[in-house]
Structure 1
Amino acid sequence: MKQFNHVNAASFEEAGRMLKDSKGAAQAMAGGSDLLGVYKDGILKTYPETVINLKKIPGFDVLEAQEDCLKIGAGCRLNRIAEEQAVKEACPALAEAAYSVASPLIRSIGTIGGNICQDVRCWYYRYPDSVGKALDCKRKGGKTCYAINGENRYHSVFGGMDCHGSPCARSCPAGTDVPGYMERLREGDWDGAARIILRYNPMPMMTSRICPHLCQDDCNQCTYGDSVNVHGVERSLGDYILEHAEEYYTAPEKESGRKAAIIGAGPGGLAAAYYLRKAGHRVVVYDRMEKAGGVLRYGIPHYRLPKDIVDAYVDALAHMGVEFRLGVCVGKDITVEEIQQESDSLYMGTGAWKQPVLGLEGENLTQFGLNFLVEVNTYLEKSMGSQVLVCGGGNVAMDVALTASRLGAEEVKLVCLEQEHEMPAASEEIARAKEEGVKLYNGWGLGRIVTDGSGKVTGLEAKKCLSVFNGEHRFSPVYDEEDRMVMDADTIILATGQRVDLSFLGERFGEQLQSARGLIDADTESFKTKKEGIYAGGDAVTGPDIAIRAIQAGRVAAAGMNRDLGGSEEDGPACGGVPCGSEEGSRSRCSGAGTGSNPFLHFDPKSVGTGISNKLQELPLEERSLVKEDAASFDRGTAMAEAGRCMNCGCYAVSPSDISPVLVMAEAEIVTTERTLSAEELLTRELTVQDILNPGELIKEIRVPRLKGRMHYDKKRVRDAIDFAIVSLASCLDVTDDVIQGVRLVYGGVAPVPYRMTHVEEFLKGRTITEEVAEAAAELAVRDARPMGKNEYKLFMMKDLMRNAILRARSGD
């Protein structure tokens, strides 16, 4: 045990202030058992610098029977609660629960406040030595709940609760609730899945085809085999949404009377247009090209993203009422000032389309990769030589190389600074290029363009690249200037990056909005610029990046614009712009989990053990072309099967408190240093009490009303004297002549929080107690259970406790 400072608090409020000011360096001590976990070696990594003693606070351990309730101080010890006649008379179930907690030694130091504030309990907390001592499980901020694919005999039979977000959602720049829509698909609810994904990304039919799917890199299934094929599932869901566009892209029910303008019809602009129009605003989109889509239309080959999909999405927005003014060059045909004057809010997402100047000798004899793709995507043809050399290592370079190959080039080579494992291009795109005969030359930089003297390109002189990044992983290539080679080529295409062109801003807006980096100066969290009412996002703010980040910027900016325009939060994008994968955004999942008909997270215990993912079916090499899509989407059955592999990462442990189920059953009130909460609000809404309480907020007092009826707390455990509940049931039945007038039933040990059986209560009210009624209620209690594999035995315990609780209330029993 490490040395610590000890402070006696004069009041709960003073203790709360000290805890808040310590910023996590202090720990409150109410009894003694609450410090056991803090100082237990090998379980927790952090130790408090100061222990704040609450035991000297006046009223700390009060236990007083009042006319309408029991008033119990948070520091009242469990042995006193178990023995006091006043408790046995007012709420006998509470006395039974206090007595059942553990050994007399633990009860003599444990407090009621400490008991209800306990962390969740599972095998990996009980026996850490069996799995290598301390574990960074999901509850402790790690990536996974080990029970999903491991020991789960003591875990929840009703599902889990989210904590710390999910790895896939955190990795997705848009924060998409991937586990949320996967769960809907497992249940066959395609409409529910569609509505979830559209809250974060209005064009999944496109991102699923072009995104580098960062979500899959962090998928917890990677520990056991292949990641979940998220982009494959998303693709089928996106296709479903587009097939039913009239249901998901509908005009708003009411108009706000406000107008939003968008400059740039690329992924960010089209995302902002969707959310703003959905919120009821008039939306006008300006773009210099003849068709909307930006890079989606002009920068990505047909074989990766068919243009009829882009057209269908744009048509869907137009059906919503979005106005497109295409072929309009902002800065020439109309100024930014004019657009701003005509609008109430403005978003700029113009992308990165300008060729960077490398200063390469003979650079004027090369082609710009993005221009090359635009021309091919527009006309599906392009004249070029037989020997093509592509310079660059990203996805654009891969697209250029494959397009050149499919146009009929005899030889396509690709040269880049990075070694293959360092290349920014997606691994499958690299593999596809190699499969189609593109020759990779890794670790070479650009020296000069070689000509035959008449200005005709004959090759590239390349120089050896020794390293690409410095010690801080910043781009800082180092070359061996003496190690050079000439690569033959008659066509050289530079795909080494793009630049942002802000000339459209004009002089006044250019001075106000342009940063020293040549980008639009906007806050990268809200995407607000310094100019009131103007937002910007995507490549114009960050420099060249992937489409999903532009979509996220458009969504977040739309949320801010919607607020500025007086729109409601309900009409705006998901979480008001907060990604669901973030700590804040994750709180939206499973709110109010302790009531209702199984609102917890679920997974398929059989399917999560499948280590091999379903793969998209690709065209044979000889059938691939410029216009036909390379891969086919999953059918719905395959998509649902792959969704079954999703682990729905959350915490599947159970609440260890014996007192909490009783307080929820008894409709108790919890008084803190800041407010009064019902037990249901405090103990069932989030995974732990700490997730509800504010920093420094302490529980002061518990008020237990006098309820009418027979109350009991029944508990199944491994060892009668000292163990936590495997399954417990807090019950109150108000019975007259064997007819149930009122009933409250709350289980413990079966879910991450106490679980109130409201549907069983509704079934029992007004019924006469019989063996058949008790049996039916027992079956109803486990109706929504989702055992994990090794904990199915808990269902038998649940039914046994329920039957006994009901029959015990019958006269004569």
Structure 2
Amino acid sequence: MADPKGFMTTPRQDWPRRPVEERVRDWNEVYVPGALLPVISEQADRCMDCGVPFCHEACPLGNLIPEWNDLVAREDWRAASDRLHATNNFPEFTGRLCPAPCEAGCVLAINQPAVTIKNVECAIADRAWAEGFVPPRPPDRLSGRTVAVIGSGPTGLAAAQQLTRAGHTVVVYEKDDRLGGLMRYGIPEFKMEKHHLDRRIEQMRAEGTKFRTSTAVGRDVTAAELRARHDAVVVATGATAWRELSVPGRELAGIHQAMEYLPLANRVREGDLEVSPLSAAGRHVVIVGGGDTGADCLGTAVREGAASVTQLDIYAQPGAERDDDAEPWPTYPKLYRLSAAHEEARDLGTAPVADADARLFAASTLRFTGDDGGRVRRLHLVEVDARRSPVAGTARALPADLVLLALGFSGPDQGDGLVEQLGLAMDPRGTIVRDRDFATNVPGVFAAGDAARGQSLIVWALAEGRAVAAAVDRRLTGSSRLPAPISPYDRPMSV
């Protein structure tokens, strides 16, 4: 603990965002470049180094947060990088994309603003790349065993890197033309620029991990062929089966799933398209769903030049302070949070009818109506109470010629034949069944990440990847020195 009084003398200061008027004109990350390093050492010094660090318990990776906070406060960046990478393969991803349950579990957060753990993590990762602290780490020798990893999202990449470093020959199979899964085509550039992803993939190539893109297992390669080629298979395809909205008018043109819309916008950034065929430019956009994916659609639509954007959230507007009875510390509370996209929508006035920023809270979609050509023109909604029952006299309609459904995901997409060909057992939720060793009902086949856990956070995806790697290594060699931060049955802290 560099400064025992740091948490009393230094106020919390977050990484400042660029002005709204500036950042909505480009697709670069929303934060001011270089503005984090001048303040981060003092922010790390706010860490109390408490005897019972609940930030550890709140983080499924078990990040050694007080240790690297202390090292950053002392500006020992190399040691901080070593401690951070000891538990997290890709901290620049989590430092940008994770909602930071560790900060909700910070002991300081009981009665003060939490330590800026997420910002410190991001600063360490970026400094590590700038200073060359993260060279490739190829294994000293090979085991002679081969592992197939299906999916190149955070779970698949983490599992592949851990197994490669353990000496196994790992091949990652990705159905898309580029690697990264939803980090590539689902996460907008303004949340994480893709060069962060590209340099990690190059690091993994240098370590010996092999990649096969544009290869859908179950279609381009059969499951039987894959099992014959490899000693073990890890299914890490994510939860890509999106939830539907079954209301009258759903068949109208102009109503799309968020994951039909976002990949096209990302492909424009990759140079594959000049303009997205689903561009929001000049359109009245309504986003159904109040989560992070909906916010990603919001920020994208604003940058594409939408005429208006409104986001519907079926839940009531949360408060600004934690409800100690319903969501006591150190659980992750549901609070009113202003993401960068919501800040942009608020300042630009994209939705004049909204309750706050671009959001309409406690709003449920009743139906869609369209024009004679079969294209959606209006979304009809009603306010709901805490039980999601309609409130009489609150029905109204919004102009809508592009509707985006961001209602979450239920499990892996079974349309490519992978689940059927492997003969994987599925639970009633639509996720893959596995035992305490991440093993499925099929010998030699393991399942990890959202495909088995269900839709979750990137930090849980990485923890799953690291844990399944340890399980596979143990199955192949009889023992493992790889860390296993979680079991398949661990869940976030809750009441």
Cα deviation, residue 516, structure 1: 2.6
1:443 maps to a residue whose letter is A
1:234 maps to a residue whose letter is E
Equivalent residue, structure 2, for 1:577:
485
2:104 maps to a residue whose letter is D
Q: Does 1:404 align with 2:301?
A: yes
1:396 maps to a residue whose letter is T
Q: Distance in 2 between matches of 1:533 and 1:393?
A: 39
Equivalent residue, structure 2, for 1:630:
none
SS at match of 1:450: strand
Equivalent residue, structure 2, for 1:565:
476
Alignment CA distance shift 1:512-1:288 (3 Å): closer
Cα deviation, residue 340, structure 1: 1.6
Cα deviation, residue 242, structure 1: 3.0
Alignment CA distance shift 1:199-1:336 (3 Å): farther
Please list every run of 5 or more consecutive structure 2 residues that lacks an aligned counterpart in the other structure: 9-47, 270-274, 320-332, 351-357, 491-495
Equivalent residue, structure 1, for 2:380:
461
Q: Does 1:437 align with 2:349?
A: yes
Equivalent residue, structure 1, for 2:443:
532
Greater CA deviation, 441-450 or 183-192? 183-192
Q: Distance in 1 between matches of 2:310 and 2:96?
A: 25
Alignment CA distance shift 1:148-1:355 (3 Å): closer
The TM-score with structure 1 as length reference comes to 0.48
Pairing partner for 1:336 from 223, 226, 233: 223
Pairing partner for 2:247 from 360, 366, 374: 360
Q: Distance in 2 between matches of 1:191 and 1:567?
A: 34
Pairing partner for 2:266 from 377, 382, 403: 377
Alignment of 1:315-330 (within 5 A): 315-330=202-217
1:548 maps to a residue whose letter is V
Alignment of 1:249-260 (within 5 A): 249-260=136-147
Alignment CA distance shift 1:221-1:248 (3 Å): farther
Q: Distance in 1 between matches of 2:182 and 2:476?
A: 29
Equivalent residue, structure 1, for 2:405:
494
Equivalent residue, structure 1, for 2:290:
393
2:102 maps to a residue whose letter is C
Cα deviation, residue 435, structure 1: 3.5
1:449-474 C-alpha deviation (Å, 9 max, x unpaired)? 12123312211000221125xxxxxx
Pairing partner for 2:178 from 271, 291, 295: 291
Q: Distance in 1 between matches of 2:208 and 2:172?
A: 11
Q: Are the counterparts in 2 of residues 263 and 285 from structure 1 also a CA contact under 8 Å?
A: yes
Q: Does 1:194 align with 2:81?
A: yes
SS at match of 2:391: strand
SS at match of 1:518: coil
Q: Distance in 1 between matches of 2:438 and 2:338?
A: 32
Q: Are the counterparts in 1 of residues 239 and 450 from structure 2 also a CA contact under 8 Å?
A: yes
Q: Are the counterparts in 2 of residues 242 and 313 from structure 1 also a CA contact under 8 Å?
A: no
Q: Distance in 2 between matches of 1:507 and 1:367?
A: 26
Cα deviation, residue 224, structure 1: 4.8
Equivalent residue, structure 1, for 2:433:
521
SS at match of 2:385: strand
Equivalent residue, structure 2, for 1:213:
100
Q: Distance in 2 between matches of 1:436 and 1:301?
A: 19
Please list every run of 5 or more consecutive structure 1 residues that lacks an aligned counterpart in the other structure: 1-145, 151-159, 469-476, 583-813
Q: Are the counterparts in 2 of residues 414 and 441 from structure 1 also a CA contact under 8 Å?
A: yes
1:746-798 C-alpha deviation (Å, 9 max, x unpaired)? xxxxxxxxxxxxxxxxxxxxxxxxxxxxxxxxxxxxxxxxxxxxxxxxxxxxx
Pairing partner for 1:239 from 123, 126, 132: 126
2:485 maps to a residue whose letter is G
Alignment CA distance shift 1:309-1:436 (3 Å): farther
Alignment CA distance shift 1:432-1:325 (3 Å): same
Q: Are the counterparts in 1 of residues 62 and 485 from structure 2 also a CA contact under 8 Å?
A: no
Cα deviation, residue 425, structure 1: 8.8
1:590-609 C-alpha deviation (Å, 9 max, x unpaired)? xxxxxxxxxxxxxxxxxxxx
Q: Does 1:427 align with 2:427?
A: no
Q: Distance in 2 between matches of 1:455 and 1:287?
A: 36
Bigger Cα Rg: 1
Q: Are the counterparts in 2 of residues 444 and 465 from structure 1 also a CA contact under 8 Å?
A: yes
Cα deviation, residue 491, structure 1: 1.2
1:379-402 C-alpha deviation (Å, 9 max, x unpaired)? 144333421111110011011011
Q: Distance in 2 between matches of 1:313 and 1:479?
A: 48
1:584-625 C-alpha deviation (Å, 9 max, x unpaired)? xxxxxxxxxxxxxxxxxxxxxxxxxxxxxxxxxxxxxxxxxx
Q: Distance in 2 between matches of 1:147 and 1:532?
A: 55
Alignment CA distance shift 1:567-1:202 (3 Å): farther
SS at match of 1:427: coil
Q: Distance in 2 between matches of 1:246 and 1:504?
A: 40
SS at match of 1:316: helix
Q: Are the counterparts in 1 of residues 98 and 457 from structure 2 also a CA contact under 8 Å?
A: yes
Q: Are the counterparts in 1 of residues 218 and 421 from structure 2 also a CA contact under 8 Å?
A: no
Alignment CA distance shift 1:568-1:161 (3 Å): farther
Equivalent residue, structure 2, for 1:111:
none
Q: Does 1:166 align with 2:53?
A: yes
2:290 maps to a residue whose letter is G
Q: Are the counterparts in 2 of residues 209 and 235 from structure 1 also a CA contact under 8 Å?
A: yes
Q: Distance in 2 between matches of 1:234 and 1:174?
A: 13
Q: Distance in 2 between matches of 1:230 and 1:304?
A: 18
Q: Are the counterparts in 2 of residues 330 and 504 from structure 1 also a CA contact under 8 Å?
A: yes
Equivalent residue, structure 1, for 2:460:
549
Cα deviation, residue 567, structure 1: 6.9
1:69-128 C-alpha deviation (Å, 9 max, x unpaired)? xxxxxxxxxxxxxxxxxxxxxxxxxxxxxxxxxxxxxxxxxxxxxxxxxxxxxxxxxxxx
Q: Distance in 1 between matches of 2:284 and 2:227?
A: 49
SS at match of 2:203: helix
Equivalent residue, structure 1, for 2:91:
204
Q: Are the counterparts in 2 of residues 257 and 281 from structure 1 also a CA contact under 8 Å?
A: yes
Q: Distance in 1 between matches of 2:260 and 2:370?
A: 22
Corresponding pairs, count: 413
1:379 maps to a residue whose letter is V
More strand by share: 1
Alignment of 1:629-640 (within 5 A): none
Q: Distance in 1 between matches of 2:6 and 2:193?
A: 39
Q: Are the counterparts in 2 of residues 503 and 510 from structure 1 also a CA contact under 8 Å?
A: no
1:194 maps to a residue whose letter is S
Q: Distance in 1 between matches of 2:167 and 2:468?
A: 16
Equivalent residue, structure 1, for 2:272:
none
Alignment CA distance shift 1:148-1:404 (3 Å): closer
Cα deviation, residue 557, structure 1: 0.3
Q: Distance in 2 between matches of 1:506 and 1:149?
A: 52
Q: Are the counterparts in 1 of residues 316 and 386 from structure 2 also a CA contact under 8 Å?
A: no
Q: Distance in 1 between matches of 2:132 and 2:447?
A: 28
Q: Distance in 1 between matches of 2:82 and 2:476?
A: 24
Q: Distance in 2 between matches of 1:196 and 1:247?
A: 12
Q: Distance in 2 between matches of 1:355 and 1:242?
A: 35
Q: Distance in 2 between matches of 1:446 and 1:240?
A: 46
Q: Distance in 1 between matches of 2:165 and 2:180?
A: 19
1:478 maps to a residue whose letter is S
Equivalent residue, structure 2, for 1:54:
none
Cα deviation, residue 351, structure 1: 1.2
Q: Distance in 1 between matches of 2:235 and 2:78?
A: 32
Q: Are the counterparts in 1 of residues 175 and 217 from structure 2 also a CA contact under 8 Å?
A: yes
SS at match of 1:169: helix
Structure number with higher relative contact order (C-alpha < 8 Å, ≥ 6 residues apart)? 1
The TM-score with structure 2 as length reference comes to 0.77
Q: Does 1:446 align with 2:361?
A: no
2:86 maps to a residue whose letter is R
Of all paired residues, the percent bearing the same amino acid is 28
